[in-house]
Amino acid sequence: MAQKSKILIIGGTGYIGKYIVEESAHPTFALVRENTASNPEKSKLIESFKSSGVTLLHGDIYHHESLAKAIKQVDGVISALGSPEQIADQVKIVAAIKEAGNIKRFFPSKFGVDVDRAKAVDPIEHHLRVKARIRRSIEAEGVPYTYLVSNGFAGYFLPNYGIALTGGTGSFNFGIALKGGSGSFTAPPRDKVEIIGDGNTKGELNYILSFLSTSPSPLNLFVSIAHAIFVKGNLTNSEVKASFGLEASELYPKVKYTTADEYYQFV
């Protein structure tokens, strides 16, 4: 029986990374910064990693020696870094992988739309360009890679019908978020649903463009995402062709996928 590859997850204590660590079926290593290990809010999560057999490696993407040392102990690297600055600084991971020379596969952190085929306006367009530059850096260095295009996370959008990206005041709105509030994302609104426009289109163009032009940062970022989704249709207008990728159901045909219609039968 072939030995399973060892996987290093960078950003494993973050919003997405913790799920990747928990679901990994391979010998798993998590890169943890010294200050993260001593963070009370993260300590419980780190202890759960340990108890499940995850190997913790102290290091930082901004400390080349520790990063390269960690990478040399594994066969594959998954990045789950989240902030825009960290996304851009994945070039440091690429450089360390190139130096190590032993990595069979690198998954950069670019969860979302296919940045080479998406249509958007700033400020989200700027972030897509940054992710595209990471792709070009990976390819230029000859690092073996897989780009995971997840589009929108269903667990984030479906519970509130996408209201969070239309500026609505149903279960969640941007005003609450910007003021530090905690809008609900756990279930669809029961009493009131705000419809943008006349209800016959996926998004009201004039409303979103007007909102985008008058919104301050960081609200304009979320509005530009709404524009990309509801006006440009970036989550529905892409076709996965054999020349550049595979659709997930082809890779994992035994997995039972839940459609949006099926989801709303149970909520």
Give the separation between CA 165 and CA 120, rounded to whole angstroms. 15
- Residues annotated catalytic, as ranges: 131
Query: What residue has token string 């600055």?
Result: 85
Q: Is 160 within 8 Å of 177 (Cβ atoms)?
A: no
Quick one: tokens of 56?
């913790």
Residue 179, judged by CB atoms within 10 A of its CB (0-12, 13-18, 19+), counts as: exposed
